[in-house]
Each structure stands twice: as structure tokens, then as C-alpha cells.
Amino acid sequence: MQRPPHQPWCLLALVFLLVTTAFAMPLQAAEGEKSSDAEPASADAAPEPFKVVTEHRLQSGAGDLRYQVTAEEIILRDPDEKPTASFFTISYRKSGVENPDDRPLTFIFNGGPGSSSIWLHFGLVGPRLIDIPSDASDPGGPPYRLKDNPWTILRATDLVFVDPVGTGFSKALGEKTSEDFWGYDEDANSVAEFIRTFITVHNRWNSPKYILGESYGGIRTGLLVPRLQQNLSIGLNGLILVSPALNMGTLPFVVAGNDLPYVTHLPALAATAHYHGKLPDEWADLRTLLDAAEHFAGTDYLTALFAGDTLPEAERNRIADQLVRFTGLDKDYILRSDLRIYAIRFIKELLRDEGKSVGLLDGRYTQDELDDVGDFPDGDPFSAKTGPIYVSTFQRYLKNDLEVDWVKRYIGSSGEANQSWKRPANGRGAFAGYVDVTGQMAQGTKDNESLRIFSAGGYHDLTTSYFATEYMLEHSGIDPDRITVKNYEGGHMMYLYQPALEALSDDIVAFIEAD
């Protein structure tokens, strides 16, 4: 029986970092400096925290939104009051609010692990938005531009962007090193303490609170729930998950001996093949195709894979014929793949006859390949085409809009953090399996009967498939009435597709305002 080999290390890094590996080069902030780069002279002292406050105004068809932006360092300390870390954060507060306690507060982070928060900041939720083609075409070279974002969720909630230690300007202090914060538990502990410190410094303990996490941020969100609600007595109103990783066993990271990712990713493969016109049959629309693909994946396909080598030859051929309908791949290729279509090979195989690969993070994107006969692509077209525009616009925004005039290195993403990530303390035994945070979320909804969950997925996301997320939430034990699931055209960062941006933003605002 043929099984997919382990993917090349560079592609494994690409998949595991999700939206961030291609942007792992440090970003340089604009020249000039307002705060010293020097480390503290001892473990008992921290530099004076940097803080700058600016006033802004967003005018749109929805009205005039005035807001205040605070760019600052939040210092974490151990029980002996020794500084352990400095979190750099950018927060947005609606101006003119008489009672801030009544105003919701949302903490926002991306994934990686090892990613800063600039992708959600400029892609979806902030009041400024990257000006990027919505049709998955190449944005070209600089100059790149920001534009006003009338769909910002600042309409409904104040915003706090979280850059974990080792990303952005956030760093370890005193006797601590970045590696001390790089792990499932270590990261969640420090982010929880950052949230506690932030709401204390800004007097927001009694505000409605939401967590918004993308990609690995879904795992971080799940780990934060018990730390915030049980350990720190910080009540939560809602969890907002964007293309979340929840259970690594449903994702295309390790597939040897694990058939579940083939099932949970088939609808996304179908959506991508449909987008590129590679399906042999005509479908009335995308939703009709996905309904059929989901039904087949959860019934005949799942049963066939479960049968393994005992699957009769006639049934094997019937399943292969169905996979041709849903993926557009050659039947002989599907049979040689033992009916298991490996996503990281699919992105090379789908457009092989055109000499192109498609994006793993967003299957709408394409790129010419140098090696037309290789098993795997050289990189991810989505990452290659979207990375520079985020980098350039953020650098300019820091200096020109927020007056953060530093020459410090801003780490957009850290491949080192990803490679150094430590397993959970309770997940290091001989029989420890895949990390799954849905149990923590479920317990959080039992402890807090007001806690609700919103989840968003992109149909063309071949990493954290929307169908994988639905599968996990439907098997989590969380009351379905407390869960809102919405899916959109587009990929891992579906909000780069303009109709998805508008719909997702409005859906998040409606979720918050329904509280």
C-alpha cells in the first residue's frame, strides 16, 4: 500500500507555520528612535515602557468614527516583581465613549506559532486596510498603499493587537530568553498574563471581552480559555476563530497512518479544482458542489479508507471515479495514490499540465513552476504574492501614522520560534497524540454559560480546511446553539477577497452586538 512520504522540510515548515513562514524575514521599522533599544541592566529593572497615543478619524458611508491609537510596551513581571517580558501592542479605542466598561474589548492575534498580528491588523479588523487585488492576482511591486476600512470591527469593539514574545517588538527581559516563551503552555501563559496586565493598566476589567485568533491562534485561544476564566478570573463573552487549527489530527501535517485529513480536506480540494475549471462535470454553483463533496467525504469515502487493504477492487474503482469528479485529477494518479489525495501534492498536480502550482493557503492563487516534474511545489504562491505588501505598508504605518520612530527589528514571523515550539506539559508522554483544544473550549462553555463561539473558514483553504473545523466543533461537546459557523469564498485569509471581507466583518460585528 502506497503512503505519502514525509514532505520536504521546507514545505513542512510552510504548512505548520500556516500563514506566516514565507514572511519570516524581520521587518525594519522606519529610521529614527523614540525609545532605547538597550536591554535592562539587571534582572530587577526594566526599561521605561514606551508609549505613544495618537488621534485618528475614519470617514465612511457608515458615519464618522473617531478613535485613539495607543502603541505601547506592557511589561510582565514574575511573583517577585522581576520583569520577564515586554509585549509591544497597538490598541484602538473609540473616542468619546462615556463609560468604557460598556464597550467590548477584543484581543487579536495571528498564529504561526511565531507570527505577529499584522495580518489580521491590516487584512480584516483594523481601521486601515491593505489595498490588494481581490481576485488573487499578483499585486506587483511597490509602492503599496493602505486605505480606510469602513468594515473595521472597531464599529462594535475596541481592539488590542497581541504580538507574542519573539514576534513584533515583543521580547524577553531579565534572565528570560525568547525560548522560555516558545511552547504551547509557555506561550498561552504569557499571553494570558499580558491580557490580565493590559486590562489592569487600562482599567478594563469589567468590559465585555472577546478573543479573536487566526490559524494557530485557534489553538492559542483554546489554551487561553481555562487560563483566563479559571486561573485569572477573567470572564469571556466570546471566542472568534478565523481559519482555526483546533486538532492537528484533522490537518495535513502528519498523514502517515492517519486517514482523517483526506476526508476533512476533500471539499476544499473540490472548491479549488472548481475555481480553476478542472472538474469534469458542470455544477450549478459552488455550494451545490460542496454539499455533494461533504456528503461523499463523510460517507462512502470515509468507509472506503477505513477498509484499508480489504477494500474490494470494484469498490476501489468506484471511489476513484468519484474522486475524479471532485478533484479533476487523473484516475490512474488517484489509484496509484491509494485513493489518498495528499494536499501538498495536489497543489502541484492540479495544474501540472500548465506548469503551475496553486496556493496551499489559498487555492485561488497560482504561480509558474521551475520544476514541472517534481512531486512538490517549490513554495506557496499565496505567501509569495501577499507577503511584501503587508511588510511595506506596516513599516510606513508605524512611523507616519503612529509615530513609532524606531530602528528596532520588527519580527513579522519567526521560523525559529516555530521550530523550537515545545509540546504541552500533559502531551509529552509515550502515548501523547495530536494536540486538540476543543476540550478546553467545551469546558469553558460549561464553566461560563454565556460564552459563545464564532468560527469562520475559507472554502479554498487547503491548510485549516473549513470542513475540518466543522468536524471538530461538531464533535466537541459544545452546545450547538452556542456556536456560529460561517464559511466564505477565499482561502486561509479569506478576507483578502473583498466580498468575504465585507460579509465576515459584518458577521463578526453581529456576533458581538448580539451579546
CB neighbours of residue 444 within 10 Å: 22
Grid cell 511595506 in the structure block, residue: 392
Q: How far is CA 426 from CA 344, 429, 477, in A?
A: 30, 7, 21
What are the two backbone dihedrals, phi and then psi, of residue 288, each rounded to the nearest 5 degrees? Answer: -65, -45
- 378 lies in the same domain as 390: no
| Total residue count of the chain as it appears in this document | 515
State CA 452 to chain mean position distance.
19
- 356 lies in the same domain as 425: no
CATH of the domain at 500: 3.40.50.1820
Instruction: Give the number of domains in the chain.
Output: 2
- Mean predicted confidence (pLDDT) in 128-147: 90
User: Does 9 map to a domain?
Assistant: no
End position of a domain, from candidates 382, 402, 418: 382
Mean of per-residue pLDDT scores for the chain: 89
pLDDT of residue 344: 93
pLDDT tens by residue, 392-445: 898 899 999 999 999 888 888 888 988 889 988 887 787 778 899 999 999 999
Q: pLDDT band for position 261 (50/70/90)?
A: very high
DSSP string, 446-476: HH-TT-EEEEEEETT-SSS-HHHHHHHHHTS
- 161 lies in the same domain as 220: yes
- 172 lies in the same domain as 229: yes
- 98 lies in the same domain as 46: yes
Which of the pair, 122 or 386, is modelled with greater confidence?
A: 122
- 226 lies in the same domain as 297: no
Q: Is the CB of residue 11 less than 8 Å from the CB of residue 344?
A: yes
Which of the pair, 3 or 240, is modelled with greater confidence?
A: 240
- 190 lies in the same domain as 241: yes
End position of a domain, from candidates 355, 382, 409: 382
- 35 lies in the same domain as 58: yes
User: Does 6 map to a domain?
Assistant: no
Q: Is the pLDDT of residue 3 over 60?
A: no
Closest CA to 68 of 159, 5, 2: 159
User: Does 182 map to a domain?
Assistant: yes
- 236 lies in the same domain as 278: no
pLDDT tens by residue, 347-376: 999 999 999 999 999 999 999 998 888 889
Cell of 163: 504580538
Torsion angle of the four alpha carbons 241, 245, 247, 250, in this order, in degrees rounded to the nearest 10 = 120
Distance CA 320, CA 335 (A): 7
User: Does 8 map to a domain?
Assistant: no
User: Does 373 map to a domain?
Assistant: yes
Q: pLDDT band for position 140 (50/70/90)?
A: confident
pLDDT tens by residue, 156-188: 999 999 999 999 999 999 999 999 999 999 999
CB neighbours of residue 490 within 10 Å: 26
Cell of 380: 506557496
What is the domain extent for residue 64?
A: 17-249+386-513
User: Does 5 map to a domain?
Assistant: no
DSSP 413: B
- 106 lies in the same domain as 219: yes
Which of the pair, 306 or 409, is modelled with greater confidence?
A: 306
Cβ contacts of 81 within 8 Å, gap of 6 or more: none
Give this prediction's pTM.
0.91
Beta bridge partners of 161: 90, 108
End position of a domain, from candidates 349, 364, 382: 382
DSSP string, 482-512: GEEEEEESSSTTGGGSHHHHHHHHHHHHHHH
